[in-house]
Amino acid sequence: MPGRVEGGGDVDRDGHGPGYAAEIATSTATRYLLLLETDLNRVFSRSLGSVAAAEFEGVTDGLLAPDHRPFDLATSSLGRAKGLSFASTAEPEVLQGLLGQLSCGLALFERTGDDGALRPRPLIESLAYDTDLVSVQRYRGKTNERLTRAMLNLALASAGIDLTGPRDPIPTVLDPMCGRGTTLNWALCYGLNAIGIEPDAGALRHYDGFLRTWAKQHRLPHKHQGFRSNNAEQRHATMDVAPTRAAQKAGEGQRIETFNADGGDRTLAIKRGSVDAIVTDLPYGVQHRADQAKLDPADTVELLTRVAPAWRRWLRKGGSVCVAWNVKRASRVDVAVALAEAGLIEKVPEHDHAHSMRHVVDSTITRDVLVAVAG
């Protein structure tokens, strides 16, 4: 597909640097407006513009060649609606597919003519399963669905995985602190394999029950295996599922494996270098329930320092990690250093004024997001 690079990079295929790209871009670029879906979660919606812009930058930087990357990115308010305006030389069809996967893209318009009239350019979203998989479960401590999708998008783009391209083999996403599976469910919706680790057996029981009911209600071909508690491999359940019988026969189904264990347990049966992306929302150091105290360690940096070496071991080279954490518990620098010590190097945005994903959740939690790549 023209305008794409595998795994990103600073120099285009002909050896031209970023300065050359910018020069050509401004002369031939088309201007666009991406309208954003607002979120009923009002806390999150306050930061929607900057969070969406940061996701937009991360995804397009990871998957488009330098001379096709959007520029002049700005957030705009249109009455009750919010949007992102930008310019790009990429083919509109490429943008329709790439931006169709963003967590809060609602509609894309190309600006045409002298008056900048808006011409619709439908976003293309291709999901293996309906998003009720992500939205049906409701529980305290659930990570915002939109944020989880944005994090998954950032991790996949940083690992050079383009969801609009062919998948062979099917990439694997790991959430080593998976709770009741919001990340795993998005990975499934994207048609990817998913592995979850969680020390709270109750959370895994809920998740497993939910998955089985979901597969039955949707009449999806599936095979489920539950494991006895305290089995030597600390396995909780495994499910193979496919959107259709034809997809199952063609080997295009997904596998979800869960482990009832610590998120940094190197002895788990997860092959070295077998994971493409790790996406996780770290414990906030804030208790949702009294009995959860032991599962919500206050020292984020200590936890991350302990688990990160196993994450590096499971990730393939060039694979990526996207973490969200409570900045009231750990600074961005400390999180970056804890990951770097294990060989997971923060991906610093190339733009001088890159947008931030940092947002206020409530009086005790301000969340930020960081992406690192396995060197």
Ligand X SMILES: C[S@@+](CC[C@H](N)C(=O)[O-])C[C@H]1O[C@@H](n2cnc3c(N)ncnc32)[C@H](O)[C@@H]1O
Positions that interact with ligand X (CB under 6 A): 141-143, 176-180, 182-183, 197-200, 203, 262-263, 281, 283-284, 295, 297, 303
- Name the residue with the smallest CB distance to ligand X: 179
Nearer to ligand X, 157 or 261 (CB): 261
Q: Is the Cβ of residue 39 or residue 281 nearer to ligand X in the bound state?
A: 281
Shortest distance (Å) from residue 48 CB to ligand X: 19
CB of 279 to ligand X, least distance (A): 9
- Shortest spacing between CB 70 and ligand X, in angstroms: 30
Between 72 and 291, CB nearer to ligand X: 291
Question: Min. distance of Cβ 317 from ligand X in angstroms?
Answer: 24
Q: Which is nearer to ligand X, 5 or 268 (CB)?
A: 268
Amino acid letter, residue 85: S
Task: Output the smallest distance, CB 185 to ligand X, in A.
Answer: 9
Nearer to ligand X among residue 53 and residue 256 (C-beta): 256
Least spacing, CB of residue 312 vs ligand X, in Å: 16
Q: 141, 198 in Cβ contact below 8 A?
A: no
Q: Residue 284 Cβ, how far from ligand X at the closest point, in Å? A: 6
Nearer to ligand X among residue 55 and residue 67 (C-beta): 55
Task: Please identify, using beta-carbon distances, which residue of 90 and 204 lies nearer to ligand X.
Answer: 204
